[in-house]
Amino acid sequence: MADFGKVQAAADAVRARVRTLPTTAVVLGSGLGDFAGSLADATSIKYGELPNWPVSTVPGHEGRLVIGTTQGQLVAALAGRCHLYEGFDGQTVTFATRVMGLLGVKQLILTNAAGGVNTSFSQGALMVIDDHINLTGQNPLAGPNDNRLGPRFPDMSAVYSSRLRALADEAAKAAGVTLAHGVYAALLGPSYETPAEIRYLRTIGADAVGMSTVPEAIVARHMGVEVLGLSCITNMAAGVLPHPLNHEEVMATAQRVRGQFIALLEGIIGRLS
């Protein structure tokens, strides 16, 4: 379980830097950090300037918290996240989520770059996460529970808000963005999956696969925060196409669809109450 005092110290440090606190936060995955730069009247804080806040070592994860406005809404954008495969434990990976919860965030939009397991997807597709499969072998709630953060046994029957998913569909239609829906499988990484593993994931109902998001979604729901998950299908998973996978391809695809991605996020945020 997260150290409440350390989370509180980071939350207090954020409060000291901004006049008004947002009720919506967006975690930006690999190559998707450009959205943070689109916020107006923004306050930007490097993760390293906040007490106890972990800093990602992965290219494409800039490592800064930006609080600003878009579509008339005040938003916290987290440009970059930490991952289990970097050697962090579940409590560290979800530290930022805990801070957002203590700051009063009510809606958390989790984004990621993912591999396409569903063969009907194309590279660059955007997918709303309807549900997830946790195959990381870890749960960030393991260990003693702190009732100040949430209940011992939180319900996970509706991790991803039906209200927010409907708003995403409305925003996509208005922006002319094609939006798929599917199940996201989270694996530990950092190696990409084998073709046999992808066939297994397809068999058990996964449409996309990645190495993030699920721990944050679990912790957010533990704290009663409403969650929306969005995946950018930056590459087709192993065995779907006859070429090897690499992180450069992930970054290049994310850059190619950045306009659609930002338009979708702005449309969703503009519809939040």
Active site positions, annotated? 30, 61, 83, 85-86, 113, 211-212, 235, 247
What are the helix (H) ranges across 176-246?
195-203, 214-222
- In this structure, the strands spanning 73-79 and 24-28 are parallel
Beta strands in 97-213 (DSSP E): 107-116, 126-135, 179-187, 208-210
Q: CA 222: distance to chain centroid?
A: 16
3-class DSSP assignment, residue 124: coil
Helix 95-102, helix 4-17: angle, nearest 10: 60
d(CA 206, CA 184): 6
Using an 8 Å Cβ cutoff, are 74 and 14 in contact? no
Amino acid at the residue 45? I
Instruction: Give burial (CB, 10 Å; 0-12/13-18/19+) of 246.
Output: exposed
